[in-house]
Chains A and B, each alone.
Chain A
Amino acid sequence: MNGADEAPQQRVKPDPPGYFEGESMTRRRAFTIAAQGLGGIAGAAIILPAVGFAVAPIFHRGKERWEAVGPVSDFVEDTYRQVVFTETEGIGDAGKTTAYVRKSSAELEEEPGKYVAVSNRCAHLGCPVRFVEAAGNFICPCHGGVYDFQGKRIGGPPVRPLDQFQARVKNGQVELGPRYSVTSQLDPVRARDPGEFTGGIWEYLYPPRPSTFPAP
C-alpha cells in the first residue's frame, strides 16, 4: 500500500449514517456521549434502588431472641429431649424449629453445667434429622447422613457436625438463642448454611454472612 492509494480513499470516505449538512463530528461526538450518559444515568436510577432493595436483607441482622424451652430438670445427660421453639418471628408455625437438648456430659469431657442444643437441620442440605434413641445417632432421611451422639458426622455426605443453638439458664429455665455452626472439633463458629464446610481454609471459601450472629 502506498500514499497514492490512500489519498483517494480518504476522499471517498462516506458520511456516517444520519449525517446532515453542516454537522460537525465534534458535535456528533458530544451528542453521542450525552445520549449514552443520560440514558445510562436514567437506567441506573431505576436499577440500583431496585437491586439494593432486593439485596438489603443480606446485610440485615434481626434482633437476638431467646426462648425458654423448659425447666432445667427436664434435661438429662445421657439422652436428648426434643423441643420446639420459634427461630424466625412473624410467620407463625413456619418460623419454628426443632432442637434436641441435653445437659453437658462429663463422660464426653464437656464443660459441666452447660446445656447442649443440637439443631435438627442436617448439615448436608438441610433436611430434618431424627435422633434415634436405639442407636444414639442422628439420621437424615434425604441423602443418608449419620451423626453421633454429639452431632459429629460418622457417615454419609454431611460436610460438618450438626449446628447448635446457644443455650443458657435463666430463672431455672433453659433458654435457647441464636444458631451457630461448629467445626469438626465442635469449636463454635458463626452460623453457616447446610452444605458449607467450616474450619481452616473453608472459613474463607464460605465466608460468614452479616445476617447471622457471632459465635459464642
Chain B
Amino acid sequence: MPKLRVPKIPDSVVPAPLRKPAKPGQGGNGKGQAPQDLKTSPPERETHVQRLGNQAKEAPVDILAWVDQRTGASGFLTGMLYRKVPKGTNWFYTLGSATLFAFIVQAVTGVFLAMFYTPSATQAYASISHINNDVPLGQFVHGMHKWGASVMVILVFVHMGRTFFFGAYKYPRELNWVIGVVLLILTMTMAFTGYLLPFDQRSYWASIVGININGTGPVVGPYLSDFLRAGPELGATTLARFYAIHMLLVPGAIIALIGAHLYLVMKLGTTAPPWMKMDKPKVAASVAQLDAGVEGNGNGRVNGAGRSNGVHVDGDSAT
C-alpha cells in the first residue's frame, strides 16, 4: 500500500504550540549541538538588535498563536483543510464550491448596487439609469449581478444533477439533499424577487404574473398575493417589500443554509465517484490494513480528523 502523503506545512505559518518538535540531532538553529559544547564555548549572547529581529520574525506567528489560544481555531481549520477527500474526486466535485462562489459574487455586487438603488415605484427606474449611465463601473457591476444570477441558477441545477446521477443523496447524506433543494428554491426566489427591482417592462409584467401565480393557490392564494403586493394592487410599498425579501430575508436564509450544507459536507465527507467499487473482502482487508498502519502515516494532526466519523450504524433504519 502506498504511503499516505501529507503536504509539509512551512513552520512559519504554524502557531508555535502546534509545531512538531524538532527531531533529536537536528538542532533548532544549527548551532546548539550537545550540552557539553555549552561548557567549552557558551553560546553568544543575542544582541539587542538580533533579539528585536527575531521577535519581528516571530510576530505573525505570535499573533496567530494568540488568536488560536483564545479560539482553538487551528484545530478546526486543520481538521477542515487537511481532511481527506476520497480517492477519485474529480472536476464534477467543484460544482458546489462554484455555486458558492457565484453566490459570493452576487452578495458582493449586490451590496454595492444597494448603495445606489432606490426601492420606490417612482424612483427605481431612474436609479438604475443612474447606476448604468453615471456611476463609474456602474453598468459593469450591474451586469455582473444580472448575469451572475443566470450563472448561479445554472450552477445550482448542474450541481443538483451531479448529486442526482452520482447517487450522492443516499445514506448518510439525505438531509444534505433536502437542504440543497431548499437552497434551490431560495435561489429561484432570489431570481424572481430580483427582477422586479429594475422596474422596466419585463420586470413589471413578470412580477405581476408571478404574484398572480401565487394567487391561484386555493384558499390561501389570494391572501398570499395580497401579502406579496402589500395590498390589492401593485402599490407604493410593493417594491420595498420585494427589496427587503431580496436583500435581507432570503439571503439570510441562504447564508444560514449554506452554512448547514457545508457543515454536513465536512462532517460526512464528499462522496467517492459511484464507479469506484470494491468487493467486500477487499474492503475488509483495507480496513484492517489502515487500522494497523494508521499511526505510521504522515502527521499526527490529520489522523485525528480523518477518523472522527467513526464507522458505526445506528439501529434506526426502517428498511
Contacts and interface: CB of A to CB of B under 8 A. Distances in A.
B213 to A, nearest CB: 6
B122 interface: yes
Contacts of B223: 58, 209
A91 interface: yes
Nearest to A202: B218
B221 interface: yes
B217 to A, nearest CB: 9
B273 to A, nearest CB: 42
A196 interface: yes
A61 B233 CA distance: 11
Interface stretch (B173-181, B204-212, B277-285): B204-212
Contacts of B222: 192-193, 196, 206-209
Contacts of B237: 57
B242 to A, nearest CB: 13
Contacts of B219: 205-207
Nearest to B233: A88
Interface in B225-242: 225-227, 229-237
A125 B233 contact: no
B258 interface: no
Interface in B50-95: none
B122 A92 contact: yes
B232 A211 contact: yes
A66 B209 CA distance: 26
B212 A90 contact: no
Interface residues of A, number: 33
A57 B231 contact: yes
Scoring A55, A91, A94, A209 by chain B CB atoms within 10 A of each residue's CB, the highest score goes to A94
Contacts of A196: 215-216, 221-222
A191 B232 contact: yes
A186 interface: no
A194 interface: yes
B121 A91 contact: yes
18 contacts: A55-B227, A57-B227, A58-B223, A61-B232, A91-B235, A92-B121, A93-B122, A95-B121, A95-B233, A126-B208, A127-B208, A194-B212, A195-B215, A195-B216, A196-B222, A206-B218, A206-B222, A211-B231
Nearest to A213: B232
Given A125-B213, A196-B216, 18 more contacts: A54-B227, A57-B229, A62-B231, A91-B121, A94-B204, A125-B208, A126-B209, A127-B209, A192-B222, A193-B216, A193-B221, A196-B221, A205-B219, A206-B219, A209-B223, A209-B226, A209-B232, A211-B231
Interface in B103-147: 120-122
A206 B231 CA distance: 16
A184 interface: no
Nearest to B237: A57
A90 B221 CA distance: 26
A97 to B, nearest CB: 8
Interface of B: 120-122, 199, 204-205, 208-209, 211-213, 215-216, 218-219, 221-223, 225-227, 229-237
A51 to B, nearest CB: 10
A211 B215 CA distance: 14
A57 B226 contact: yes
A81 interface: no
A28 interface: no
Nearest to B223: A58
A60 B234 CA distance: 14
A203 to B, nearest CB: 11
A47 interface: no
B235 A195 contact: no
Contacts of A142: 205, 209
Contacts of B211: 126, 193
B231 A195 contact: no
A87 interface: yes
A133 B225 CA distance: 33
A123 B236 CA distance: 23
A145 to B, nearest CB: 12
A88 B212 contact: no
Nearest to B222: A209
A128 interface: yes
A91 B122 contact: yes
Contact of B235 (A61, A90, A212): A90
